[in-house]
Amino acid sequence: MKLKNGFITHNVGKTQMMVATGAASTAFHGLVRSNETAAFIVNCLKQETTEQKIVEAMLKEYDAPAEVIARDVHSVVEKLQGIGALE
Amino acid sequence: MTEFTVKLADIPVRIRAIRPEMRQFLQEYLTEEEAELTIETRQEDIDRERVMSARTRAAEGLSEFRPGDAYLETLAVYRKLAEALVERDVLLFHGSVVAVDGEAYLFTAKSGTGKSTHTRLWRQAFGDRALMINDDKPLLHVGEDGVRAYGTPWNGKHHLGGNCSAPLKALCILERDKENHVERVSPEDAFPRMLQQCYLPEDGEKVEKILALLERMSQCVKLYRLGCNMEPEAALVSYQGMQEEA
């Protein structure tokens, strides 16, 4: 899975802002605000990946138990799927 | 078909329009200078505005309204202008801008919140010290070390503002409240509202540029949130609250 074309991000301070442009903007009009960890997950999704691969990448970066990270990744992925941002 | 050059946000722009009313609409901005870019409208642009305008009104639950081609062409021209001016670090923003003692204050909020009412209170409170720049859709040039707000003929239903400009001292997100109060807000908190009130083209590259300009603006202009009622005191509270030093 991967972030659909047309979703673009920009960091303002420690918050990542994501909006939909072009064709993607007809389905999603809002703004996604992500904290540092959620932004890490969003950035992983800019290339084709899987939840498992994202969890592995996060384990290298963050000092947290694997099950907590897996739960966080799943929750962010679900939210992005909910707004139609993934393909 | 009519053709002329106007200067908007300090940039001379050639306008090629269909309706003769367009020249009258932009009269205050005519210039003899050589144009740096050209905006041309076609009938299909006007037709597209008609469809979009009807859709927006339906979405907002407003009654059906059949605008004429001349009005729709002003919308089409502004849309094209906004898209072209992004490359020159200029944004089309939704808000009411008033300058006091030569420094501009931009009040932004959803339509119907009371931006125009609030800047009217400022004009009443400050008299000759206040200059109305634009009551609805100003242009903002986002430079390296500051933002400048420019008047445009797209200045709201009361046609307030003129061909003038001033450095932008503060951007203020306006909300209605019983009591008047004003607080500083962080760029992170203000950003979503700024994005919402800024014209966004469909083109992703332009949107990326706009996000970067908005971020630059959030760094070099002071950002506030104002809760206000419609009493004259609201103008004094908001002005005083925005006078603090850096």
Residues B33 and B149 in one domain: no
Coil vs helix vs strand at B42: coil
> How confident is the model at residue A29, as a pLDDT?
84
Residue type, B167: P
HEC letters along chain A: CCECCCEEEEEECCEEEEEECCCHHHHCCCEEEECHHHHHHHHHCCCCCCHHHHHHHHHHHCCCCHHHHHHHHHHHHHHHHHCCCEC
Provide ipTM, 2 decimals: 0.82
CATH number at residue B178: 3.90.228.20
Note the pLDDT tens digit of each residue in B142-176. 999 899 999 999 999 899 999 999 999 999 999 99
Residue whose C-alpha is closest to residue B243's, from B203, B163, B184, B192: B184
> How confident is the model at residue A63, as a pLDDT?
92
Residues B83 and B98 in one domain: no
Count Cβ atoms within 10 A of the Cβ of residue B34 and give its class: 0-12 exposed, 13-18 middle, 19 or more buried. exposed
Overall average pLDDT of the B130-150 stretch: 96
Could you tell me the two tokens for B34?
């050589």
Bridge partner residues of B90 (DSSP) = B141
Note the pLDDT tens digit of each residue in B84-110. 999 999 999 999 999 999 999 999 999
Bridge partner residues of B184 (DSSP) = B224
Residues B78 and B105 in one domain: no
Could you tell me which residues come within 8 angstroms of residue B12 by beta carbon, excluding any fewer than 6 positions away? B5, B6, B31, B33, B34, B35, B36
Measured between CB atoms, which of B188, B204, B207 is closest to A12? B188
The parent domain of residue B232 ranges over 91-241
| A10/B200 CB distance under 8 A | no
> How confident is the model at residue B245, as a pLDDT?
62
What's the total number of domains in chain B?
A: 2
Domain for residue B246, yes or no? no
DSSP type of residue B62: P
Note the pLDDT tens digit of each residue in B215-243. 999 999 999 999 999 999 999 999 999 99
Residues B52 and B144 in one domain: no
Residues B137 and B193 in one domain: yes
Task: Show which of B88, B108, B134 is a domain's final residue.
Answer: B88
* A75–B contact, CB cutoff 8 A: no
Domain for residue B95, yes or no? yes
> How confident is the model at residue A30, as a pLDDT?
86
Residue type, B97: V
pLDDT band at B57 (very low <50, low <70, confident <90, very high): confident
Residues B212 and B235 in one domain: yes
| B208/A12 CB distance under 8 A | no
pLDDT band at B61 (very low <50, low <70, confident <90, very high): confident
Could you tell me which residues come within 8 angstroms of residue A15 by beta carbon, excluding any fewer than 6 positions away? A33, A34, A35, A39, B188, B191
Q: What mean pLDDT, rounded, does chain B reach?
A: 95
What are the extents of the domains in chain A? 7-82
Bridge partner residues of B174 (DSSP) = B226
> How confident is the model at residue B246, as a pLDDT?
52
Q: What mean pLDDT, rounded, does chain A reach?
A: 94
Residues B136 and B123 in one domain: yes
Q: State the smallest CA–CA distance between residue B55 and chain A in angstroms.
A: 13
* A10–B contact, CB cutoff 8 A: yes
- How many CB atoms sit inside 10 A of residue B54's CB? 15
Coil vs helix vs strand at B138: coil
DSSP type of residue B110: S
> How confident is the model at residue B75, as a pLDDT?
96
Domain for residue B78, yes or no? yes
> How confident is the model at residue B206, as a pLDDT?
95
Bridge partner residues of B104 (DSSP) = B99, B168
Residues B143 and B71 in one domain: no
